[in-house]
Structure 1
Amino acid sequence: MSTDRRLLVILAAAASTLAPAASFALSALDGTLAAPETFASIADPAERSAAYFTELSKVLTNPRCTNCHPASDRPRQGDAARPHQPPVFRGPDGFGLASMRCSSCHHSANFEPAGVPGNPAWHLAPAEMAWEGKTPREICAQIKDPARNGGRSLDDLVHHIGDDTLVGWAWHPGGSRTPAPGTQQAAKALLQAWIETGAACPN
C-alpha cells in the first residue's frame, strides 16, 4: 500500500468516530464524491440537505469551476488558479473582448499538443455568478438566487450542472489539470438530493 493510500485509510478510520457529516470531507482526498445514500444516517432533513451541498461544494470550489467563475473579469488557469495568460477579460457577453475572443484560442475540444482546453461554448460565467474565494454557504445562497444564478430555477440547476457539456469539461480537463472530484452524474445526484431535502445551506 502506498504512503498516500495508507494515510487516506488512517484518516478515514479516524473520521468514522466523528459526527456523521464530518467524515464525508475525506472523499475529496481521493478525487471522489460521496453518493447521496452515504448521508442516510443524518436523520434531520435540513442537516442532511446541508451535508449534500457541502459534498457538492468540493466540485463548486474546485479550480475547474472557480477558474471560470472568477471574482474579477479575468479568468484563472490551472490547478494553482493563476491569472490567465495571455491577459484576457470577460467582455460584455462573457466570451471575451472584441480584440481577444475566447474562441480565438479555445476551440471545440482540448488541443493537447499545446495544453489548451476547449469546448464549443467556452466562456466565463456571468459576473453575478462569481464563486472564486467564496465559502460553500455563500455559494449555496448565491446558487439559489435567480438574480445571481443566470435566472435558473432549482430544477434548471440540475440540468445545468448535471448535463451541460461545458460544465462536464471539468471532469475531463485533459493535460496536467486535475479533474473535478467524482463525476458529473455524481454531482447531479447530490444536487438533486439537496433540492429534494429542502435545499438547505451549510453553516
Structure 2
Amino acid sequence: MARRLFAIPLAAVFAAIGSVAGIGLPGHAETSDGGALKTVSDFDAITETGARSKAIFEEASRVMTHPRCINCHPATRSPTQGEDLHPHVPLMNASQSSLGPAGLVCSTCHGAENRPILGSRMKSIPGNAHWSLAPASMAWQGLTVGDICRQVKDESRNGNRSHADLVRHMGEDHLVGWAWHPGAGRSAPPGSQETFAALVAAWVETGAECPD
C-alpha cells in the first residue's frame, strides 16, 4: 500500500516537470511514423535469397529503430524519452538492474498499463506489466541497421534466444506489443506486431542475412 501511495504523487511530479520544462509531446492520438509496414509478399520479386533476407530485415528495422523501441534500447544504461530521444526525466540509471535503480525502480511510476495525465503536455505515462530497460547487450541506439541485425541474431547478446525464440519474442511478447499501443501523445511504429513478426520469421527462413 505504501508503494502505491508513493508512486502516484511521483508520477504527478514528473508530469509537472515535463510540462514546465517543455519536453512533453504533442497531444495527438496514436499514429504511425511513415506509411504502412511492407508485408512478406512485397519482397517476392527479389529472387536472390540472401538479398531478399537483407531487404526484409531492413523493413523490419523500421520498427526496431522507431522511438517506441529504441528509447528502451539506449546506448547507455539511461533510457531516453519522446520522439527526439531526449534524456529520461527524472534522470535514470539502470547500471545495476534493467528494472531501474534501487529505491526508484521503473514500476514506481510505470504501472501495468498506460495512465492518462490531465492537464499535462506529457498526456500519459506509458505502462506495461513487464516495463523495463533492455539489457546492455541489446543497446541499439547509434548502431547501423546491419549492426543491429548482427546483434539480434547473436545468442550471446540477444538473451540466449534461438532464431525460433526471436520469432516468438517479436510476435508474442506483451512489452514488444506495447509499442503499437503507446498511449496518448506518442506515435506508434508502422504496421502491427503481427506484420512485424511475419517479417522477422521470413528473415529467419531466408537465412537471417544482415545488411552491410
**C-alpha contact (below 8 Å) 2:53/2:210 kept by paired residues:** yes
Provide the TM-score with structure 2 as the length reference: 0.81
**C-alpha contact (below 8 Å) 1:91/1:98 kept by paired residues:** no
- For structure 1, the 5+ residue unaligned runs are 1-26
Per-residue deviation at 1:75?
A: 0.3
**C-alpha contact (below 8 Å) 1:146/1:152 kept by paired residues:** yes
Write the distance in 2 (CA, Å) between the matches of 1:87 and 1:100. 11
Per-residue deviation at 1:175?
A: 1.3
Q: Which position in structure 2 is the counterpart of 1:40?
A: 44
Show CA shifts across 1:75-95 (max 9, x none): 011111110001111142300
Q: Does residue 1:150 correspond to 2:159, yes or no?
A: yes
**C-alpha contact (below 8 Å) 1:68/1:125 kept by paired residues:** yes
**C-alpha contact (below 8 Å) 2:33/2:189 kept by paired residues:** no
Which has the larger helix fraction? Answer: 1
Provide the TM-score with structure 1 as the length reference: 0.84
In the TM superposition, structure 1's runs of 4+ consecutive aligned residues that sit over 3 Å from their partners are none
**C-alpha contact (below 8 Å) 1:52/1:194 kept by paired residues:** yes
**C-alpha contact (below 8 Å) 1:111/1:118 kept by paired residues:** yes
- For structure 2, the 5+ residue unaligned runs are 1-31, 118-122
Per-residue deviation at 1:178?
A: 0.5
Per-residue deviation at 1:28?
A: 6.1
**C-alpha contact (below 8 Å) 2:33/2:187 kept by paired residues:** no
Per-residue deviation at 1:176?
A: 1.2
Write the distance in 2 (CA, Å) between the matches of 1:82 and 1:76. 5
What root-mean-square deviation, in Å, do the aligned CA atoms of Structure 1 and Structure 2 show?
A: 1.3
**C-alpha contact (below 8 Å) 1:109/1:117 kept by paired residues:** yes
Q: Which position in structure 1 is the counterpart of 2:120?
A: none
1:182 is aligned, of 191, 198, 202, to 191
Q: Secondary structure at the match of 1:177?
A: coil
Q: Does residue 1:67 correspond to 2:71, yes or no?
A: yes
